[in-house]
């Protein structure tokens, strides 16, 4: 039985717990039709493309029944445009995650930095995002990797330079509480690890996941703190259930940040971009990154020009509103994340002074002090 949650009614409660949300995963045309009237094009994409798709009833209920351009719907429903691939790099993940380098590492460990790694523990998700840059692994299933948690743990144990372990996927919060408990306990036993991070979209797509059992596993005062980053791309994704989930996480000592993806037609206009970042703060989620939509295959239709994110920070955020609402805009590459911030601040410099300009175009001077 699928229960449709009405988000227009602030009083409505989500009746399904997280397991029921997953049991009722919206991944067939019949179930999808409970939420939207799919277009012929959407039906054709679902029927003809070999791709994993689907979402939770919670997230499905946010879709607009009639509008195929709905920003939630475009993140959920497969599109024939995913077959177009003009700019995507083939074997993207192998290149991006440095999987063909000399250093021997388990499949589960992606490394671009000296003291931190991304540890992939699963390839299942609550929502199969159409724009996912790990699509080859998570959505298209063309790339098969071994996610042996113990093998990954053993590698971390004998790599003393690793002080920050970012647990990712897929979505690590789709693992059972026992599995998550095991992972955290084993990592905390490693003396050189100073922090554990989880990247999970459940805060948005499956906020019911933040139930007592998981909070008990995550919470408490420990030597090794836990940080969470979620992914919210549009203000419509922020529901009362998400507000409650974040509050519960903070209540057990966990900070929640956001890593949005800049998506054409979804959040690449000044108004949506600003509303997204302001609403995140209202929900106690700190904007951390906005990612350029990576050149992975099959997601050309989501991609903006590279400069777009910096322009949006210039035109919507910096100076226009609360500084805490400002994310860093980054391009994630095979050599790590590269920040691209607005570049207009320094207008001129000579040996005596700098000429600086603010968000309104007002000019000011600063003496150039020699070293």
Ligand X SMILES: *Cc1c(COP(=O)(O)O)cnc(C)c1O
| Local structure of 290: helix, strand or coil | strand
78 lies in the site for ligand SF4, by CB under 6 A: no
Two tokens, residue 363: 């000019």
Stretch that binds ligand SF4, among 65-73, 127-135, 264-272, 345-353 (CB under 6 A): 127-135
Query: What, of ligand SF4, ligand X, none, does residue 110 touch, CB below 5 to 8 Å by kind?
Result: ligand X
- Smallest distance, ligand X to C-beta of residue 192, A: 16
173 lies in the site for ligand SF4, by CB under 6 A: no
- Smallest distance, ligand SF4 to C-beta of residue 209, A: 12
* Residue selected from 25, 74, 111, 134 as contacting ligand SF4 according to rule CB under 6 A: 134
Give residue for tokens 């063909």.
Answer: 100
171 lies in the site for ligand SF4, by CB under 6 A: yes
170 lies in the site for ligand SF4, by CB under 6 A: yes
92 lies in the site for ligand SF4, by CB under 6 A: no
Closer to ligand X by CB, 268 or 294: give it: 294
**H/E segment holding residue 248:** helix 240-251
Cα dist. 164→9, 173, 175, 196 in Å? 41, 18, 21, 6
Catalogue the E-assigned strands of the chain. 109-110, 116-120, 164-168, 195-199, 226-230, 255-261, 286-291, 328-333, 336-339, 346-349, 353-357, 363-367
Determine contact, residues 233/75, Cβ cutoff 8 Å: yes
Stretch that binds ligand SF4, among 166-174, 213-221, 244-252, 294-302 (CB under 6 A): 166-174
Determine contact, residues 16/208, Cβ cutoff 8 Å: yes
Q: Could you give the CA distance from residue 243 to residue 254 in angstroms, rounded to a whole number?
A: 14
60 lies in the site for ligand SF4, by CB under 6 A: no
**H/E segment holding residue 109:** strand 109-110
* Residue selected from 118, 129, 217, 278 as contacting ligand SF4 according to rule CB under 6 A: 129
End-to-end, the C-alpha distance of the chain in Å comes to 71
128 lies in the site for ligand SF4, by CB under 6 A: yes
- Applying CB under 6 A, the residues found at the interface with ligand X are 110-113, 116-118, 166, 337
Closer to ligand X by CB, 110 or 217: give it: 110
125 lies in the site for ligand SF4, by CB under 6 A: yes
Q: Could you give the CA distance from residue 152 to residue 135 in angstroms, rounded to a whole number?
A: 22
138 lies in the site for ligand SF4, by CB under 6 A: yes
Closer to ligand X by CB, 111 or 303: give it: 111
Q: Which residues bind ligand SF4 (CB under 6 A)?
A: 125, 127-129, 132, 134, 138, 169-171, 201
């Amino acid at each position: 039985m699928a229960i449709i949650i009405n988000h227009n009614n602030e009083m409505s409660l989500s009746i399904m717990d997280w397991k029921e949300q997953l049991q009722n995963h919206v991944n067939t045309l019949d179930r999808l039709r409970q939420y939207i009237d799919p277009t012929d094009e959407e039906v054709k994409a679902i029927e003809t493309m070999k791709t994993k798709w689907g979402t939770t009833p919670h997230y499905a209920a946010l879709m607009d029944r009639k509008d195929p351009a709905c920003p939630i719907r475009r993140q959920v429903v497969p599109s024939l445009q995913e077959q177009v691939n003009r700019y995507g790099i083939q074997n993207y993940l192998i290149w991006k995650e440095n999987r063909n380098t000399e250093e021997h590492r388990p499949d589960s460990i992606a490394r671009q930095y000296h003291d931190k790694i991304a540890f992939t523990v699963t390839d299942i998700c609550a929502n199969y995002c159409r724009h996912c840059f790990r699509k080859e692994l998570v959505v298209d299933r063309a790339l098969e990797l071994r996610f042996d948690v113990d093998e990954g743990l053993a590698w971390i144990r004998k790599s003393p330079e690793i002080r920050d372990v970012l647990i990712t996927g897929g979505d690590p919060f789709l693992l059972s509480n026992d599995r998550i408990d095991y992972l955290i306990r084993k990592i905390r036993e490693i003396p050189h690890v100073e922090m554990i991070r989880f990247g999970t979209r459940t805060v948005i797509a499956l906020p019911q996941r933040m139930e007592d059992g998981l909070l008990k596993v995550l919470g408490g005062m420990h030597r090794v703190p836990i940080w969470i980053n979620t992914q919210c791309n549009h203000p419509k994704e922020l529901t009362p259930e998400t507000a409650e989930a974040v509050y519960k996480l903070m209540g057990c000592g966990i900070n929640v940040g956001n890593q949005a993806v800049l998506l054409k037609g979804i959040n690449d206009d000044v108004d949506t971009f600003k509303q997204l970042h302001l609403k995140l703060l209202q929900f106690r989620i700190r904007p951390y990154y906005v990612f350029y939509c990576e050149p992975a295959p099959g997601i050309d239709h989501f991609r903006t020009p590279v400069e777009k994110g910096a322009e949006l920070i210039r035109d919507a955020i910096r100076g226009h509103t609360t500084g805490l609402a400002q994310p860093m805009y980054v391009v994630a590459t095979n050599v790590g994340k590269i920040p691209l911030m607005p570049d207009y601040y320094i207008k001129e410099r000579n040996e005596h002074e700098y000429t600086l300009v603010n968000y309104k175009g007002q000019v000011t001077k600063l003496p150039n002090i020699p070293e």
